[in-house]
Every structure is written in C-alpha cells, then in structure tokens.
C-alpha cells in the first residue's frame, strides 16, 4: 500500500517535471493534500499552454513566417497550409523496438482510426473486419455507419474463429477494451487467417508489456499491424493536455513485397484522409514533458498505482455488494462497472452517475462526473455494455493513495447499496480482473 506521504512525494516529482518546462516558474508550495496536487497540476498545464501561445504567436494554422522550426519539448513540426502536410519529428510514444515505418499524428484517437478505416476503402472494395466482445462502442458505430465496404463480424473469443477465404480481405480489430480472456485467447491463436491487424492501444500504458506481446504476435505471423491510440488518456501524467491521436504503421522486414507495397499505399491514403477530413494534429497539443526517462518512470508508477487500486476495488465490490456478479474482466484493468438491476437508458444512467458523484463530492471524496480515465481523481460516467445491450456505470479508478481510494470505494459501495434498495437497482456488479 502506498502511504499519503509517499504519494505526495511522487506527485511532487511529477509537478517538478512539469514546472521545469516553464520559462517563468510558478511559485507553488509543496502540495499537502490530494486536492492541492490536482489543482497545481492543472494550473501548471494552463501556464504551459499560455507560454506556448505567447511564444509561438506567429505559428498559426497556415505557416506564414519561418524564424525557426516550431517545437514542443522533444517534438519538432513543419507544415504549410492549415497543417494539411504536417510533419512531426520526435520520440515515439511507444516503448518497443520493432521497426515503425511511419507515424501519422491526428487530432484525436477517433480521428486516427476514422482516417485509417476510410483509407482502406480506396484499396479494397470489400472486406471483413472482425471484432472481439468489448470493443470500443464508437469504433463499432463508425464501422456500421460510415465504412460500408467493411462487413462487421463479431467474434466470440479470438481470431482463431476467422476462416480463410480467397476472395475476402480479413482485418482484425484488436481493442484494449476487450476482456482479459479474449486477449489471452488471441495471443494463443496460431497461424491466424488475417491480412491486417488494427490494434487500439488507448487503454494500455505506452510502456505496457501487453502492447509488446501483441506486436510480437503479429511479427511472429508476419501480419502487418497498425497501432492507433488516443494520447489524451494515459500519456499526459493525468492531464488532458490536449487532444492528440496517432496511427503507427509497422511492416515486418520479411513480409511479402505485395504486402509491403499495400501497406505503403495504406499509409498514403491515410495521410490523404487526415488532410481531407481536417483531422491533422495540433502542435500545441503535444505534451512538452514527454520523452525523458524521468517521464517514463513517473508514468509507469502512475499506471501501476491505478491498476493496484483497480484490483483492490474489484475484489472489494465483489464482496461488499451482496449477490452481485463479477463480469467483464477488462484486459486493461483501468475501471470497474456497476449495473442497475432494472434497465435504464443512457440519459437515466448518466443521471445515476451524476447523482453518485454529486453526493460523494459533497462529502469530500475525490470522485467526479467525467467521461474519461487516467486522472488523479476518480471519474464516473455511463457506459454501454454492448455484450448485454444495456447501460452501466463506469468508475474509472484513479492514481490516489491506496488507503484513500479504499475509503472512496467503500463510500461508493454504501451509496450503491442504499440506492439499490430505495431507488433504482439491486445491482449486479461487473468488475475488471487482475
């Protein structure tokens, strides 16, 4: 268990790293509470953005003045008209050694996967895209609504279910939101009949061993892979520094010449889609504090704390909420979900999340009504359980001292138990696994 003192020391290190990128230092005292940690982090982030805007005032959407190349920390940018030809030089967000042929940065994670999927329409007239249970809902909505050339096929467990057909191109969407069981079954799948893997890494830390395992699996079977990611979540030390996404294209040295050429064409069509749909990244949204060894160490410790708290929460909820069911063992392990016993629509479920956060915040607990994760405070929001076609409450577990988050989890369980008797549910619980 991490004590409050150890936690505050770690957070002071994060704050010191952030402040080191300010030209005009902020005079902030060492934080003495979780509230001060959160406030100071966002104050420093605002100051970093303000300095960027003041210093780089000449760099607008269209480059019209060139006194020097635009930089943000380790990243260097060049572009001309409205960033349509944006080029980025800098370190990779990932920690794996495989050869990345090209990285295309976008304005969000959804912009990255949207551009990629739409780009495939220029290269293949029709294809099957296979998805696992738990895949990100908006990605599935995108496929069903705007990529008519892709036939959505829902797998039960792994790409071992995919059957080889001579006339169908086969894409596998591997999402970090899937269950732990499906994740492991996929990596145990030998000689998968696939032509392309798209791996959404958003819910894994950028240094996660699970990312390396997926990349190694694709390498073993010589399947081209594209890693798509939102960098707004786990890559910004708990800050929503700016909306940023990417697509990393990997082609293995011993891939066939035809596959290598096809991937080169896919890179070009994806760049074109980013340009035509206005999805280019904003230089101001690249966190300047990224890339140092100190940053990677602090990020690793943050994610480890979140996972530790999440496992404890899952075990406690399974015990404290009598009669509940432990389901949806998410591979990423970043949050738990609670399901009302009676069916609620999105609006009703969102209101339950708002009521939960309002009541607990009033009592001083660090839980906020927010639809994201990776913060230094807990976040609750509605969540679509596509496997059972129902709405549930998602509680994103934060990087907080173990003892404090244990108390928040107890407060959530007490609130839920009270309301299930009096208001809306005799809840079944879904929780992530270890």
Domain co-membership, 97 together with 195: yes
* CATH number of the domain bearing residue 279: 3.40.640.10
Asked whether the predicted pLDDT for residue 125 surpasses 80, the reply is: yes
| CATH code of residue 402 | 3.90.1150
| C-beta contacts of 209-215 below 8 A and 24+ residues apart | 210/176, 210/183, 210/331, 211/94, 211/96, 212/95, 212/96, 213/187, 214/174, 214/187, 215/96, 215/98, 215/250
Average pLDDT over the chain reads 89
Is 211 found in the same domain as 332? no
Residues 278 and 161 in one domain: yes
Indicate the residue among 285, 316, 336 that finishes a domain. 285
pLDDT of residue 365: 96
Lowest mean pLDDT segment, chosen from 138-142, 270-274, 320-324, 396-400:
320-324
Are residue 217 and residue 366 in the same domain, yes or no? no
Q: Is residue 407, in this structure, part of any structural domain at all?
A: yes
Q: Let me know whether 44 and 118 are in one domain.
A: no
Write the burial class of residue 348 (CB in 10 Å: 0-12 exposed, 13-18 middle, 19+ buried): middle
pLDDT of residue 198: 98
352 band by pLDDT with thresholds 50, 70 and 90: very high
Tell which of 237, 262, 285 closes a domain: 285
Does the residue 290 lie in any domain? no
Asked whether the beta carbons of 106 and 274 are under 8 A apart, the reply is yes
Confidence class of residue 398 from pLDDT cuts 50, 70 and 90? very high
Task: Tell me: do 423 and 306 sit in the same domain.
Answer: yes
Residue 142 exposed, middle or buried by CB count within 10 Å (0-12, 13-18, 19+): middle
Residue 356, burial from CB neighbour count under 10 angstroms (0-12, 13-18, 19+): buried
Pair 358, 403 in one domain? yes
85 within some domain: yes
21, 48 contact by CB (below 8 A)? yes
Tell whether 200 is covered by a domain: yes
- Please report whether residue 65 resides in a domain: no
Predicted local distance difference test score (pLDDT) of residue 423:
62
For the chain, how many structural domains are there in total?
Answer: 3
Is 63 inside any structural domain?
no
pLDDT tens digits along 401-430: 999 999 999 999 999 988 876 665 544 344
64 lies in some domain: no
Two structure tokens written together for 47: 């100051």
For residue 40, give its domain range: 4-55
The radius of gyration of the chain from alpha carbons, rounded to an integer in Å, stands at 22
The pLDDT tens digits of the residues spanning 271-329 come to 999 999 999 999 999 999 998 889 999 999 999 999 999 999 988 988 887 554 335 57
Same domain for 310 and 281? no
Share of the chain above pLDDT 70, in %: 92
Q: Which tens digit of pLDDT belongs to each residue from 10-68?
A: 999 999 999 999 999 888 999 999 999 999 999 999 999 999 888 887 778 887 776 56
Q: Are 74 and 199 part of one and the same domain?
A: yes
């Amino acid at each position: 268990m991490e004590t409050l003192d150890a936690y505050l020391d770690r957070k002071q290190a994060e704050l010191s790293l952030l402040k080191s990128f300010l030209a005009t230092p902020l005079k902030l005292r060492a934080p003495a509470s979780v509230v001060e940690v959160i406030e100071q982090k966002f104050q420093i982030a605002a100051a970093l953005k303000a300095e960027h805007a003041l210093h780089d005032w000449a760099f607008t959407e269209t480059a019209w003045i060139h006194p020097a190349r635009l930089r943000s920390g380790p990243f260097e940018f060049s572009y001309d008209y409205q960033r349509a030809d944006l080029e980025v030089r800098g370190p990779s967000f990932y920690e794996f050694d495989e050869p990345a042929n090209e990285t295309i940065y976008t304005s969000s994670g959804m912009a990255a996967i949207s551009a990629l999927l739409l780009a495939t329409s220029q290269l293949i007239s029709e294809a099957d895209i296979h998805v696992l249970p738990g895949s990100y809902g908006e990605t599935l909505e995108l496929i069903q609504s705007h990529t008519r050339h892709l036939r959505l096929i829902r797998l039960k467990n792994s790409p071992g279910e995919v059957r080889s057909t001579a006339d169908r191109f086969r894409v596998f969407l591997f999402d970090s939101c899937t269950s732990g069981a499906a994740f492991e079954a996929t990596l145990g799948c030998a000689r998968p009949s696939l032509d392309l893997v798209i791996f959404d890494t958003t819910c894994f830390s950028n240094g996660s061993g699970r990312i390396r395992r997926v990349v190694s699996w694709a390498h073993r079977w010589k399947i081209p892979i594209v890693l798509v990611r939102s960098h707004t979540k786990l890559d910004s030390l708990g800050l929503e520094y700016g909306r940023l996404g990417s697509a990393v294209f990997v082609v293995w040295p011993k891939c066939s010449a035809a596959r290598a050429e096809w991937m080169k064409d896919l890179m070009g069509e994806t760049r074109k889609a980013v340009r035509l749909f206005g999805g280019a990244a904003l230089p101001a949204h690249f966190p300047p504090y990224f890339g140092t060894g100190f940053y990677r160490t602090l990020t690793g410790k943050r994610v480890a704390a979140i996972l530790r708290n999440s496992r404890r929460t899952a075990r406690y909820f399974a015990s404290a909420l009598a009669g509940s069911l432990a389901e949806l063992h998410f591979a990423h392990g970043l949050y738990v979900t609670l399901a009302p016993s009676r069916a609620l629509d999105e609006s009703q479920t969102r209101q339950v999340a708002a009521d939960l956060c309002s009541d607990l915040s009033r009592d001083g607990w660090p839980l906020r009504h927010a639809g994201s994760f990776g913060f230094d405070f807990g976040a609750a929001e509605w969540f679509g359980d596509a496997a059972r076609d129902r709405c549930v409450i998602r509680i994103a577990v934060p990087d907080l001292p173990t003892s404090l988050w244990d108390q928040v989890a107890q407060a959530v369980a007490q609130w839920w138990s009270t309301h299930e008797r009096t208001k809306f549910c005799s809840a079944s619980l879904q929780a992530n696994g270890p």
